[in-house]
Structure 1
Amino acid sequence: MNSKIQKELSELVQNNIITNDIAQNITSYYLNKQENKPNRLFTVFGVLGSLLVGLGVILILAHNWDHFSRATKTVFAFLPLIIGQIVSGYAIIKKKSATWREASGTFLFFAIGSSMALVAQIYNIPGDLSSYLLTWTVLSLPLIYLLRSNAVAILCVVFATYYAGEFGYSFSSNTKIPWLYLLLILAIIPYYIQLLKSKAEANITSIFNWLFPLSLTIILGAFVDKNDDLGFLMYLVMFGLLYNIGKIPFFNKQKLRRNGYLIIGSLGSVKMLLMASFDTSWYDLKQLGYTTPELYVVLCLLVITIVLLAYSYMQKWIINFNPFQYVFIIFSALFFTGLIHTIASLIIVNFLILALGLITVKIGVDKFHFGVLNYGLLIITALVVCRFFDTDMSYVIRGLLFVAVGGGFFLTNYIMLKRQKIRERQSLNNQK
């Protein structure tokens, strides 16, 4: 039991706020809660131990590898896989603790990869890295559900991302689109949904809340074949989708640091708009061709995001106007009309960024959230910095703009802090 809680309980008993019996009941409640709760630190060290044991075995075998016959090499190639399966099977049949399941699952995950690599090396089986990663990930997917292993689920997402990056980001002329990456992610989604239902506020769920949007952000560029400008629009629509997912009440009610969809969607939208605020971004739009795979991806993302936005309206999840939720629609319209009215689209993008910054500042003030407040001020500052480099304003005007923004930072935070203190005093007076 936490020593801080014990200290506070003893102080409450000494000051006659609670009785000794109540304090004992509270102590027994927390002790029972700790007994039923898995030891997270032990689970982490169990996973790390499995990794170190696996690496140690590989190093020992690698040192003497050339002295073994082909038959001996084959036995050693399959030995980690057999051991991993036996330990994992024992954890499933005996219904062992989460530590057993996580450790055995992690060991078996890497045993699969090492066995594949060793067999390919022994018998000179040709292949490339992307196909090896794909096969490794596909063979490991059942472990997520058999062992209910969070570590294996995380590893599968990471290796699926690695596969898609290796397969899709090619420097050769023959670019390839990693469509199978989508199937790999879809295969992990049911486990993620189960975590959302059973452990909505757990740290492991928060990791997945960040891992999935980060993976999509990294890999979406691999779906760009030849049309980089449509790839630009593709990213902005995806960030709009992530932001709207983050505004679903299930995610929006959680602490901001647990909502990776909202943060990545917001930061990504602002970044793409800032890039689009430069006139050079709009010069090549008239040369676009709309028969490429990028167009189909953009249309698919647009449909999904609009359906989600419409569903949010139907469920009355959207009460106040939030421009971040509509940025993808506004920019999509500007993107296609920019083929004709480039200057008008450029001006609207700059005003849109300014509106996002001001509304974010207002949200931060209304919620008394200094992080959101300063984020809105940073958006405005970024816009001013961008215009610093591509306008012909005098240095005096530029300097005054920076002074105004810096003064705005100080003044807004000062007023916010003052209001917060007044609010705290009023709450204390009401309690008295």
Structure 2
Amino acid sequence: MSIDKDLPDLIKAGIITEETGSRIQEYYKAKSNSSPNRLFVAFGILGSLLVGLGIILIIAHNWDDLSRATKTFIAFLPLVAAQLICAYVLLKKSGNSIWIESTTTFLFFAVGACISLVSQIYHIPGNLGPFLLIWMVLCLPLIYVMKSSMATLLYIVGITYYAVESSYFSYPSSSSYLYWVLLIAVFPQYYLLIRSNPKSNFLTVENWLIPLSITTVLGTLASNAEEFMFVAYFSLFGLFYIIGNNTFFKDKSLRNNSYKVIGTLGTLILLFVTSFDGFWNDLRTEYYSYESLLTANELWVSIGISIVALVYFYKQQKDKPMRQLPPLSPIFLLFIVIFCIGYFSSIAVVLINLIILTISILTIVDGAKREHLGVLNFGLAIITIWIIIRFLNTDLSFVIRGLLLMAIGIGFFSANYGMLKKRRRNE
């Protein structure tokens, strides 16, 4: 429906009055003026990046012929220029998101370039981890002073890279505990963006970056009791899944519900990994003394995340009947119990496989009730992957494996055909 074309017809037909038509037209005009063109914002940010790269290339061509003073002047020139432009934007263009995002992006990279160039000019030694840390700390105020979502996204990527570089690539010579402080520093902006602009494209990207960043960096906390990190990750993915089912995310599409997607896939991957005997055999061979457990990072991280997940789970489910319980929500609690059992008994692997089978059946049933092909096929995909994994863990003949694969294929076809036939009847 085109407002400009259809309003005269609606007025002529007597459906709405001329006054109502004018008010509708003014409403949509004000709405279009208040929401910036997404393409302009994207091109503004891209333009800032290209200008910065062009300047770097031009300077790099003649860099060796310049004096130290000239090099220092050039190192600070983009930084000073970017700060002046940002000051102008704050004073004159504070309501224009195109100006804010593009100039803040320019300043963000100007800070990094200045630090790098000064270190190179004066031969200041250092590694990539500390460089990224200084860069991100200096750029943190941009998120709140400029109110820039692009600066937030770059900041999250930067602190994640810092943590990965410090605790994965440079381990054990360095650690990345400051990552968690830097991440918490961005949460107020995240909350304000959710409240002020819940349909923002920047918020959608941020919703993906934050859980992915936490998932990536959580493993850096492992030290001497790595098996306990499975509990931490189960609880983390359980927390993500519960967040993805809250009132804000529940009705969003999967593209906009990153917490549910990451929580679901993460939980299922961990279930498949722990469905083999190898993990539990390794767990039973480990010996942890009381003193070593008390000093293990993994134990306290697991307890902390599990408590947060449990509190959020209780708040979400306390007024709802059990039949409305999402199938993956309590998995982190079940795994904690199974993990304790698995330390002493081999029955843990059987329980994990039963959980996978139960989840797939519940998902298939839910898809059939809702007449949702996506949910139905997801449940079928879970049970298919589980059967294929069991192929790898059992000694079956090729004939039996072939017959089972044929049965799975027939099951897929029959379920989808039955669903489509049911839809046609209802129509």
TM norm structure 1: 0.91
Contact 2:238 2:309 in 1 (8 A): yes
TM-superposed CA distance for 1:383, in Å, is 0.2
Aligned partner of 2:190 in structure 1 is: 192
Which is worse superposed, 287-296 or 205-214?
287-296
Aligned partner of 2:328 in structure 1 is: 324
TM-superposed CA distance for 1:273, in Å, is 0.4
TM-superposed CA distance for 1:25, in Å, is 5.8
Tell whether 2:300 aligns with 1:296: yes
> Residue 150 and residue 92 in structure 1: after superposition, are their counterparts in 2 closer, same or farther (change >3 A)?
same
Query: Residues of 1 paired with 2:308 and 2:137: CA distance?
Result: 27
Unaligned runs of 5+ in 1: 426-432
User: 1:87-107 CA deviation, whole Å, 9 max, x = no partner?
Assistant: 111111222411110011000
Aligned partner of 1:264 in structure 2 is: 262
Contact 1:42 1:99 in 2 (8 A): yes
> Residue 93 and residue 408 in structure 1: after superposition, are their counterparts in 2 closer, same or farther (change >3 A)?
same
Aligned partner of 1:429 in structure 2 is: none
Aligned pairs, number: 419
Alignment of 1:14-413 (within 5 A): 16=13, 18=15, 21=18, 26-94=24-92, 95-170=94-169, 174=172, 176-286=174-284, 287-289=286-288, 290=293, 291-314=295-318, 316=320, 320-342=324-346, 344-413=347-416
User: 1:199-242 CA deviation, whole Å, 9 max, x = no partner?
Assistant: 22332221111111111112122222233322233222211111
- What is the letter of the counterpart of residue 30 of structure 2? N
CA RMSD of aligned residues (A): 2.3
Which is worse superposed, 190-199 or 310-319?
310-319
User: 1:134-154 CA deviation, whole Å, 9 max, x = no partner?
Assistant: 110111111011111111000
Contact 2:208 2:259 in 1 (8 A): yes
Contact 2:143 2:152 in 1 (8 A): yes
- What is the letter of the counterpart of residue 259 of structure 1? N
TM-superposed CA distance for 1:156, in Å, is 0.3
- What is the letter of the counterpart of residue 325 of structure 2? F
Percent of aligned pairs with the same residue? 41
Query: Residues of 1 paired with 2:312 and 2:27: CA distance?
Result: 43
Query: Residues of 1 paired with 2:355 and 2:174: CA distance?
Result: 35
SS of residue matched to 1:230: helix
TM-superposed CA distance for 1:294, in Å, is 1.3
Query: Residues of 1 paired with 2:417 and 2:262: CA distance?
Result: 28
User: 1:304-355 CA deviation, whole Å, 9 max, x = no partner?
Assistant: 111111222345497613330111111111112111112x111110110011
> Residue 315 and residue 68 in structure 1: after superposition, are their counterparts in 2 closer, same or farther (change >3 A)?
farther
> Residue 421 and residue 25 in structure 1: after superposition, are their counterparts in 2 closer, same or farther (change >3 A)?
farther
Which is worse superposed, 289-298 or 26-35?
26-35
TM-superposed CA distance for 1:8, in Å, is 7.6
